Amino acid sequence: MKTSVKNTNQVINIGNLIAEHSIEFQNPNDLDILIEKIGDAKYVLLGEASHGTHEYYVWRAHISRKLIEQKGFSFIAVEGDWPDCYLLNRYVKSYANSGKDAHMVLHAFNRWPTWMWANWEVIALTEWLKAYNQTLPNNQKIGFYGLDVYSLWESLEAIIKYLEKVDKHALQKANRVLDCFELYGSKDEKFAHLSGISCEDEIIDLLRETSLKLSQYNTDPEAALNLEQNTHTLKNAEEYYRTLMKGNVNSWNLRDHHMVDTLDRLMKYHDKNAKAIIWEHNTHIGDSRATDMHNRGMVNVGRLTREKYGRENVYSVGFGSNSGTVIAGMEWGDAMRVMNVPVAIEGSWENLLHKLGEKDRIIFMEDDLKEEWDNANIWHRAIGVVYNPKYEQYGNYVPSIIPERYDAFVYIDKTKALHPLHIEPDGTQMPETYPFNI
């Protein structure tokens, strides 16, 4: 692999500019400059270079806390399923029958990869959110929502469960959707791949019915929002799984459009001054136009939000590291395991930062850094839930124009795996994994 940053002098100049436009950080107080740089942005996108790294979760939590406390952000929206995350939303807002503690709520997150949200790091954030919300009036409590599109069956089950209580006529239409799905014989979400048959007409009929009655679905705080979002997720998930069969970029684009549409729905639900914190992988929050994704016709949340809301209203923060450990699986559905992350390949973004000194730093993408970068690509690591360190150099690096992809970048030289909830820690208490309280 070869970086497109052109020569040694350019690398030296870029290194000097990175040092000039970065700060070293060790504790949450060091984040204040980042919070100041975010300014009046209404959308703050916080990335991660993997879905299984302790430090990414902890530092995103610290940034989120400061944004909530100091800048009045309204909610956190994550790369997670709506039904599961809505249970967590109910818990942090202390709604009736929402669970006795975060451990109980998060332990119910049983869709692979469970560790993404069912982990001790998220428990710490959740319990802080719940405590913070107790100081706020009901209409100002901070929410926690899922943006993703995967939860076809879970969203349908949530719809049916709710309509059984409040709307027997709409329930009939929901049951027609269920009957259509059950023609395929199982709850395998890949049913559309195998059959080529669609339940789209039945879903649209249900969506029309419930959309006309949303104002009636006020039996519980956020009940109408929950029903509306589950119905849209049901529709888009069915289309997503059918599209996935074709093996092109349309399924990816549908998924990221769904996430931005969900974000729109959440902003409209909150007041006109609402502000959103988004937690997703770098491949979603870093502008796709600054990567080879653009050449393949792919869009992502980073690009769509900049285009839709204006670049001045969106602030994207990438995350990455040089080496360490990570939680991942060797294939989809595999057992979670701690894997070693090898040092970054020569000439990569992470390798460049490592050579500046084995220090954690936040880099701000100022204009003169962008100018010196001169739109050159450099390899930038991305680890998913499926990962094999042996083959990393062949598929885990994305050529990127870093200053165009992000507004800032959090570099942690050596990271460690997060702490999944479904791998029991020693004893019954939260493991001592935190350098400071969240």
**Domain span at 253:** 152-269
Q: pLDDT at position 438, please?
A: 42
In this structure, the answer to whether residues 183 and 168 fall within a common structural domain is: yes
Residue 166 lies inside a defined structural domain of this protein: yes
Residue 194 clears pLDDT 70, i.e. is over it: no
Residue 196 clears pLDDT 80, i.e. is over it: no
In this structure, the answer to whether residues 223 and 109 fall within a common structural domain is: no
Choose the weakest-confidence range: 63-77, 185-199, 347-361, 374-388.
Answer: 185-199
Q: pLDDT at position 394, please?
A: 80
In this structure, the answer to whether residues 227 and 357 fall within a common structural domain is: no
The arithmetic mean of pLDDT across residues 258-273, rounded, is 96
In this structure, the answer to whether residues 226 and 296 fall within a common structural domain is: no
Q: pLDDT at position 5, please?
A: 55
In this structure, the answer to whether residues 118 and 159 fall within a common structural domain is: no
Residue 372 clears pLDDT 60, i.e. is over it: yes
| Domain stop point among 250, 269, 288 | 269
In this structure, the answer to whether residues 39 and 185 fall within a common structural domain is: no
Residue pLDDT, tens place only, 94-125:
999 999 999 999 988 888 899 999 999 999 99
| Domain stop point among 269, 288, 309 | 269
Q: pLDDT at position 430, please?
A: 43
Residue 227 lies inside a defined structural domain of this protein: yes
Q: pLDDT at position 185, please?
A: 52
In this structure, the answer to whether residues 281 and 406 fall within a common structural domain is: yes
Residue 434 clears pLDDT 90, i.e. is over it: no
Q: pLDDT at position 13, please?
A: 78
Q: In the structure, what pLDDT confidence band is assigned to residue 221 with cuts at 50, 70 and 90? A: confident
Q: pLDDT at position 397, please?
A: 95
Residue 398 clears pLDDT 50, i.e. is over it: yes
Residue 194 lies inside a defined structural domain of this protein: yes
Residue pLDDT, tens place only, 282-302:
999 999 999 999 999 999 999
Residue 36 lies inside a defined structural domain of this protein: yes
| Domain stop point among 269, 292, 315 | 269
In this structure, the answer to whether residues 279 and 392 fall within a common structural domain is: yes
In this structure, the answer to whether residues 280 and 221 fall within a common structural domain is: no
Q: pLDDT at position 111, please?
A: 86
In this structure, the answer to whether residues 406 and 302 fall within a common structural domain is: yes
Q: In the structure, what pLDDT confidence band is assigned to residue 235 with cuts at 50, 70 and 90? A: very high
Instruction: Give the percent of the chain with pLDDT over 90.
Output: 74
The 3 state secondary structure assigned to the chain is: CCCCCCCHHHHHHHHHHHHHCEEECCCHHHHHHHHHHHCCCCEEEECCCCCCEHHHHHHHHHHHHHHHHHHCCCEEEECCCHHHHHHHHHHHCCCCCCCCCHHHHHHCCCCCCHHHCCEHHHHHHHHHHHHHHCCCCHHHCCEEEECCCCCHHHHHHHHHHHHHHHCHHHHHHHHHHHHHHHCCCCCCCCHHHHHCCCCHHHHHHHHHHHHCCHHHCCCCCCHHHHHHHHHHHHHHHHHHHHHHCCCCCHHHHHHHHHHHHHHHHHHHHCCCCCCEEEECCHHHHCCHHHECCHHHCCCCHHHHHHHHHCHHHEEEEEEEEEEEEEEEECCCCCCCEEEEECCCCCCCHHHHHHHCCCCCEEEECCHHHHHHHCCCCEEEECCCCECCHHHHHHHCEEEECHHHHCCEEEEEEEECECCECCCCCCCCCCCCCCCCCC
Residue 355 clears pLDDT 70, i.e. is over it: yes
Residue 427 lies inside a defined structural domain of this protein: no
Looking at every residue in the chain, the average pLDDT score rounds to 90
Residue 436 lies inside a defined structural domain of this protein: no
In this structure, the answer to whether residues 139 and 279 fall within a common structural domain is: yes
Q: In the structure, what pLDDT confidence band is assigned to residue 9 with cuts at 50, 70 and 90? A: low
Residue 338 clears pLDDT 60, i.e. is over it: yes
Residue 294 lies inside a defined structural domain of this protein: yes
Residue 193 clears pLDDT 90, i.e. is over it: no
Q: How many domains does the chain have?
A: 2
CATH number, domain with residue 368: 3.40.1660.10
Residue pLDDT, tens place only, 51-96:
999 999 999 999 999 999 999 999 999 999 999 999 999 999 999 9
In this structure, the answer to whether residues 95 and 177 fall within a common structural domain is: no
Residue 396 lies inside a defined structural domain of this protein: yes
